[in-house]
Amino acid sequence: MTVPPRSKPSLYIDFLAAFFVEKADGLEVAPFTREFIAAVKGRFRLRCLSEIPEAQALKIARSLGFECDYVAWSRGLGKAKAINMSETFYWIESDPSPSDLLRLSDARCSERLIPIVKREGVTPATLKKLELTLDASAG
């Protein structure tokens, strides 16, 4: 008897804040972005939460070497409303709103939020926190 493969958990990403940092002349790829993407792209279904148009977000993702699902969200409802809380997920976010935090708490998923600092983007500490959270959820 064969066991069906477990589906990959989803990783929702605050796309711009995670992978880009502001510089005087515009946005620049955050220093740890490529290493982070290499570490997660095979382990998760990547889902980009973004305010930029879908075609632009997907083009940027491809230029960074990964494919993702674009997840539209409403500013009035918050990003957490766009997350499918019935699946195994993790969420990298720089600025969750109070309603986002409440939705996570109501769904008993607060520990799946991996906070980042917008001016840094993803860092080695982000990856470590994600891995620790993933291990704690599995065990």
The tens digit of pLDDT for each residue in 80-130 reads 999 999 999 999 999 999 999 999 999 999 999 999 998 999 999 999 999
**CATH 3.40.50.1000 holds for 11-138:** yes
Query: For residue range 28-66, what is the model confidence (pLDDT) as tens digits?
Result: 999 999 999 999 999 999 999 988 899 999 999 999 999
Contacts of 52 (CB under 8 A, 6+ apart): 15, 16, 60
Both tokens of residue 55? 């075609």
Query: Whole-prediction pTM value?
Result: 0.90
d(CA 138, CA 84): 19
- Structure token digits, residue 38: 């290499």
Residues 6+ apart with CB under 8 A from 31: 21, 121
Domain boundaries of the chain, sorted by first residue: 11-138
Report the residue count for the chain: 139
Q: Which residues of 14-23 are buried (b: 16+ CB within 10 A; e: fewer)?
A: bbbbbbbbee
